[in-house]
Each structure stands twice: as C-alpha cells, then as structure tokens.
Amino acid sequence: MAADETAVEGSARQPRPEVVLVRHGETARTIGGRHTGRTDVPLTEVGRHQAEHVAARLAERHFTVVLTSPLQRAADTSALAGFAGAEPSEDVVEWDYGAYEGRTTEEIRAERPGWSLWRDGVPGGETAAQVAERADRVVQRLRRAEGDALVFSHGHFLRVLAARWLGLNADAGRFFTLRPAGTSILGWEREQPVLARWNEPVG
C-alpha cells in the first residue's frame, strides 16, 4: 500500500470529537423540585462536593471547547471541576420558565391538571422551539470543534441539547433524565450521532 493511502486510511479511523455534558450540582431548589430557570441560585455544600468529584472524572480528558452557563450554579460547578476558564454562553442557560419559575410541578398541576412542560409550555417563558434554537446553535458550534468539547449547564436545557444532537424534536428530551452533577457523552457511531453515555453519577 502506498504511503499516502496509509495516511488516508489512518485518518479515516480517527474518532470524531465527543461532547461531555455536565449538569450543575445540587441546589436548594433541586432538592425541593422547583423549576429554576433564570433565578441565580447557589450550589449547596453537597452540590459543591459533587462538582469537585466531577473533576476526577474529567481529569484525563482534554477539551478544545469548554462552555458554561453564566448562572452561578453552573459556573461554580465548572470552576470546582477544574474549568474556571470556561467560556460563559447565554445559549446554554436553562429554559426560561416564565410564570412557573420557582414552582413545583405539583403546584402547577393543581391549576392545570396533567400539565407537562414538554407538551404545554409555560406562560411568559420560552417555548420548546425557542430552547431548541439555542441548542441547535450549540450543536453547530460543537460539531465544528477541532477536538472534544465540554458543556456545564442545566437539566432541561441539556436534555433538549441531547435530543437535537440526535436529530430529534426538542420534546424528545422528556425521555431523558439528569441527576445533579450527572455526566453524559454525546458521540458518534460512524456518521450517526449517538448517546455514548447518559446520566452517570459522580463518585
């Protein structure tokens, strides 16, 4: 085989870049099950410890792009995990819950029986399509990256991001769940975008 053919064959076998997703650590509102979109709440002590454990999981990896939501629960998770220099991005902030900010699903369903964020949306907040628009911009950027990427963000946004990575509608995010400080990997099988790992716990 000619040398140039060997080079082509070798490059074809190089893995495509992966995207590691990290949900922020625990907050008081996480514990209470309250929808927290743009309210800037801090991590609990447990949440800070969770973020520190994420550092060990990521220690052996190199990332060419590291994004974080500018909200402190995500930005602090990023810093405690060893990525204080992460780039803040408004595109990866949490879903804007509008009038349902700070409320639990049970409280909302007392007024709107059977309510689902994915199906019914929120008054005065973002639609699923609007969240998907942000997610699509992120997907496009990460697919252009020269290497692996890392995103520190929030539960509902990351679920939409995963759906859009797979080419699914935003509401397919309802099939995924994410624990605080859970990590996931968006990857490839040949040219097919896949979920390589999902919702792995820290520790």
Q: Are 165 and 19 in contact (CB under 8 A)?
A: yes
pTM greater than 0.85 (yes/no): yes
Tokens of 86: 């992460």
Q: Do the domain assignments include residue 2?
A: no
**161-175 CB burial, b ≥16 within 10 A, e <16:** bbbbbeeeebbbbbe
> Structural domain tally of the chain?
1
Strands 87-88 and 65-68, bridge-based pairing: parallel
**Structure-token pair, residue 156:** 């509902």
Instruction: Look up 24 and say whether it is catalytic.
Output: yes
Measuring CA to CA, which residue among 164, 157, 118 is closest to residue 141?
164
In a domain? residue 192: no
CATH number of the domain encompassing residue 125 = 3.40.50.1240
47 belongs to a structural domain: yes
User: Active site residue: 18, 26, 94, 126, which one?
Assistant: 94
Residue span of the structural domain in which 62 resides: 15-147+155-179
Sequential pLDDT tens for the chain (203 residues): 343 333 333 344 457 999 999 999 999 999 999 999 999 999 999 999 999 999 999 999 999 999 999 999 999 999 999 999 999 999 999 999 999 999 999 999 999 999 999 999 999 999 999 999 999 999 999 999 999 999 999 999 999 999 999 999 999 999 999 999 999 999 999 999 999 999 999 86
Question: Following CA atoms 131, 136, 142, 145 in sequence, which dihedral angle do they give, to the nearest 10 degrees?
Answer: -140
Could you tell me if residue 167 is inside a domain?
yes
Find all residues with CB under 8 Å of 18, minimum gap 6, and list them: 148, 149, 185, 186, 187, 188, 196
